[in-house]
Amino acid sequence: MVIELTTAFVMRCPGCGRLEVDQVNLFQLSGSKEITFQCECGTHKATIRMKGSSYVVVEYYCIICDREHSAVFSRKQFWTRNYLNAIYCLDTDLNLGYYGPYELINQELERQQEELNSMANDLGFDEFVNPEIMLEVLDYLDDIAASGRLYCDCGSHNINIELFSDRLELSCNNCYAFKQIPAAKKDDLEAVKKLDEIKVNISTKTKSF
C-alpha cells in the first residue's frame, strides 16, 4: 500500500488577487525545513513548517486585517485525504482559502466558479464595467453579511443591495441610510477586502424614495 502524504494549499494572492494551487509533501518539511509559498507576481502568501513531530504550523498573510496569522494543525488533520479544511482570518472568521487533497481543492474551486457564473447570468454579466471585480466584491460582501458584520448605525442588519454598472449601493430598510461601494477597479476590490465589517452610516445623506 502506498500512502501519499501530500496536501494542496490554495489562497488568493494579497498582492495581485491571483488564485493558485500549491502542493507540499511530508518530506519537504522533514527536520527543520519550512516551505514558503509565493505568487507568480512575487508576493509572499504563506509559510508552512513542522512543530515537533505532531503538528504543522501555517503562517499566512491575511488580506482582511492586513497582517500575518499563525495557525497550528495536528499532523493527522493537515495530511488528511478525506476532506477540505478552511483557512480563516483569526479576527473575523472570514474564509481566506483551503488546504487538503488536491482533487477536493479542484472540486471546490470548480463549484465556486459555477456559482459565480450563475450569479453573473442572473445579474446581467454584460452590464458591469468590470464583471469579475463586481462578482468578487459581491462574494466578499456575502461573507461579511453571513458573519453578521454588515449592518447599519441604527442597529439593523436588514440591508438592501442595489447594483449599478460600476458600484453597489447598500441601503438600510429600517432608516433608509445608504452607502456606496465602488466595484469597477482592482483598487476597489482591494479596498473592500481590507474591511472586517461594513457599516451603513445614519449620517450619510439619504436617497429620496
pLDDT (tens digit per residue) in 71-100: 898 888 888 778 888 888 888 777 888 888
Rounded Cα distance, 31 and 172, in Å: 55
pLDDT at residue 54 is higher than 60: yes
List the grid coordinates of 102. Answer: 488536491
- pTM exceeding the 0.85 threshold for the entire prediction: no
Share of the chain above pLDDT 90, in %: 7
> Half-sphere exposure (CA, 13 Å, Cβ side) for 190?
10
Count the residues in the chain. Answer: 209
Rounded Cα distance, 152 and 175, in Å: 9
pLDDT at residue 1 is higher than 70: no
